[in-house]
């Protein structure tokens, strides 16, 4: 297999131009420096520091408890591993819903303190004025409609949105409002494929699907789901490209057994030399 060489820095214009050219957009989440570097070197278009870190990295039951400080901390770590991909930070619950001014201030921290290129926030028509104010302040915004995990309880739980005429119309209204407010792209989560296709064709900005079928302009997954790290639950729309969890457990089991049985470290893992000092050391310790 040829080594992939990717050097061009991804810009907002590149992401928006992909919609016109028909080239699919690739996005995955990252929460630390090491994984960010791997994704960046692989040639990914967008790295998202999602508030999903609450569950897969911090052990919370949902995304709701995630704080601004936690998001800034993880975004800063990821930023140090990203040199060419577009880096987006996920705004946590209640960091942008209270007031437009507070939303702009918090969004600015992602850019100024964490080095993100933009932010993502959940919500449609109701959030459009906030998005517009952020954009006017020079902050690039990625929208997110459909299943919005931060307010999943109000939506009736983690379930597909837009299955009836009323909710489908609402999704289209939300998408148009987010686009008109100046967002540069839009995440569609847990939406029937045909509705996602309709939205993708209606709005001028790229759509990025997660559980929204193949017709979106791009796709995103949580990296822990893709790699089989997170076994607590796996959404039905996730494709596991590898199941690393049992392989990691097997490696750790082998390590424990080798340490206990004196197999590791072996000669090849130990430093040589010092024999000439042994007699002197012994005599000094008599």
Q: What is the pLDDT of residues 117-148, one digit of tens each?
A: 999 999 999 999 999 999 999 999 999 999 99
Q: What is the mean pLDDT of residues 163-169?
A: 96
CB–CB of 32/74 below 8 Å? yes
Q: Do residue 65 and residue 187 come from a single domain?
A: yes
**18 is a domain residue:** yes
Q: What is the pLDDT of residues 249-266, one digit of tens each?
A: 999 999 999 999 999 999
**77 is a domain residue:** yes
Q: Do residue 236 and residue 264 come from a single domain?
A: no
Q: Do residue 152 and residue 206 come from a single domain?
A: yes
Q: Do residue 47 and residue 135 come from a single domain?
A: yes
Q: Do residue 48 and residue 186 come from a single domain?
A: yes
Tell me which of 189, 201, 279, 284 is the catalytic residue: 189
Q: How many helices (H) and strands (E) does the chain have?
A: 11, 8
Burial (0-12, 13-18, 19+ Cβ within 10 Å), 206: buried
Paired strand residues for 88: 48, 118
Q: What is the pLDDT of residues 25-67, one digit of tens each?
A: 999 999 999 999 999 999 999 999 999 999 999 999 999 999 9
Q: What is the C-alpha separation between 237 and 212, in angstroms, rounded? A: 8
Whole domain around residue 258: which residue ranges? 247-284
- The answer to whether residue 23 is catalytic is no
Q: Do residue 154 and residue 274 come from a single domain?
A: no
Burial (0-12, 13-18, 19+ Cβ within 10 Å), 183: buried
This prediction's pTM: 0.93
> Does residue 284 register a pLDDT over 80?
no
Domain count, the chain: 2
Q: Kindly list the distances between the CA atom of residue 109 and the CA atoms of 117, 122, 139, 222, in Å, as whole numbers in the listed order.
A: 11, 18, 10, 23
**2 is a domain residue:** no
Q: How far is CA 285 from the centre of its chain?
A: 57
């Amino acid at each position: 297999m040829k080594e992939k060489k990717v050097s061009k820095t991804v810009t907002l214009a590149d992401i928006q131009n992909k919609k016109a050219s028909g080239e699919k957009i690739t996005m995955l989440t990252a929460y630390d420096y090491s994984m960010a570097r791997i994704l960046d070197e692989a040639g990914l278009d967008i790295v998202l520091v999602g508030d999903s870190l609450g569950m897969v990295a911090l052990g919370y039951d949902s995304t709701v408890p995630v704080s601004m400080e936690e998001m800034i901390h993880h975004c800063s770590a990821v930023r140090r591993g990203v040199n060419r991909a577009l880096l987006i930070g996920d705004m946590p619950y209640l960091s942008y819903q209270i007031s437009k001014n507070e939303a702009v201030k918090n969004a600015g921290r992602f850019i100024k303190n964490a080095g993100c290129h933009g932010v993502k926030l959940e919500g449609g028509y109701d959030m459009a004025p906030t998005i517009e104010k952020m954009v006017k302040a020079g902050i690039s915004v990625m929208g997110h409609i459909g299943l919005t995990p931060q307010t999943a309880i109000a939506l009736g739980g983690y379930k597909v949105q837009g299955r009836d005429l009323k909710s489908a119309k609402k999704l289209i209204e939300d998408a148009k409002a987010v686009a008109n407010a100046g967002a540069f792209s839009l995440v569609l989560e847990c939406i029937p494929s045909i509705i996602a296709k309709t939205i993708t064709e209606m709005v001028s900005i790229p759509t990025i699907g997660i559980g929204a079928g193949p017709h979106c302009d791009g796709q995103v997954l949580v990296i822990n789901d893709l790699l089989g790290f997170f076994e607590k639950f796996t959404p039905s729309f996730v494709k596991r490209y590898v199941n690393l969890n049992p392989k990691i457990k097997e490696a750790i089991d082998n390590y424990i057994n080798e340490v206990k049985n004196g197999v590791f470290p072996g000669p090849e893992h130990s430093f040589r030399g010092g024999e000439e000092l042994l007699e002197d050391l012994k005599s000094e310790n008599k």
